[in-house]
Structure 1
Amino acid sequence: MFTVLLYLLIMALVGGLLFLVVSMVFGRGEQMEPLPPGTTATTLPARDVTGTDVQQLRFQQTLRGYKASEVDWALDRLGAEIDALRAEVAQLREARPTAPGPVEKR
């Protein structure tokens, strides 16, 4: 019984050492280094935000969900884009000449 326990302990030690050596040599497998604390990879175009841009948004996760500052930033940008589009639509509606009414046939 003691021999089996000793073999398991030795196998665990060898596996742990092998894991440490491989992780030191090859790293974490990331192609890019991690972002510095306090920065984000969340981006939106400066203008003309599309539905695809919104669908591709990714937020940094924290202990209780998503990072609130990133979500607030994205919502502010989307709100500004919606306001700009509504103002443009209103301006175009005002500039549109009124269409003549239906012509009556005699």
Structure 2
Amino acid sequence: MLMFLFLVVALAVVVAAVTLAVVGGGESAPLPEVAPERLQDPLPADRPVDAADVENLRFPVAPRGYRMADVDDALGRLGAELAERDARIADLESALAGARAAATHAHPAPHARPETGEGQEDQR
């Protein structure tokens, strides 16, 4: 029984010592406030985003995951650029279809070979 009591007291002392070490024991000043970590390399503002920019994009970790403002800004930018590219692709495809249609109507393809022309011999 005496040994059990000694182990309980020793365990309480060890737990108290670890708790004081973690909390700081009141001997030192409290830790200074640190500014929240921000996105170091945001998406470039002076040119369109390319695949390498997206691959290199790393969000800083916040206490509960990622900073929502950084993620929302990046996703908003990517969404806007993708919408712009999709509109540009649609415009170019429609212009290409119009150019092909105009070329087809201006120069109809012959369906049959002409009877007279170069390379044909006169059969008299």
TM-score where L is the length of structure 2: 0.48
Equivalent position amino acid for 1:45 in 2: P
Q: Distance in 1 between matches of 2:41 and 2:64?
A: 18
Residue of structure 1 equivalent to 2:70: 70
2:41, 2:57 within 8 Å by CA — same for their partners in 1?
yes
TM-score where L is the length of structure 1: 0.55
The Cα of 1:40 is off from its aligned counterpart by 3.0
Residue of structure 2 equivalent to 1:44: 43
Q: Distance in 1 between matches of 2:65 and 2:111?
A: 66
Q: Distance in 2 between matches of 1:59 and 1:78?
A: 15
Residue of structure 1 equivalent to 2:109: 103
Q: Distance in 1 between matches of 2:94 and 2:81?
A: 20
Is 1:84 aligned with 2:90?
no
RMSD across aligned C-alpha pairs, in angstroms?
A: 2.5
In structure 2, list runs of 5 or more residues that go unmatched.
1-33, 113-124
Q: Which has the larger radius of gyration?
A: 2
Q: Distance in 1 between matches of 2:55 and 2:37?
A: 23
The Cα of 1:83 is off from its aligned counterpart by 0.8
Task: State which drifts further: 43-52 or 68-77.
Answer: 43-52
Equivalent position amino acid for 2:109 in 1: V
Equivalent position amino acid for 2:42 in 1: T
Runs of 4+ that moved beyond 6 A? none
Equivalent position amino acid for 2:39 in 1: T
Q: Secondary structure at the match of 2:100?
A: coil
Matched positions, count? 72
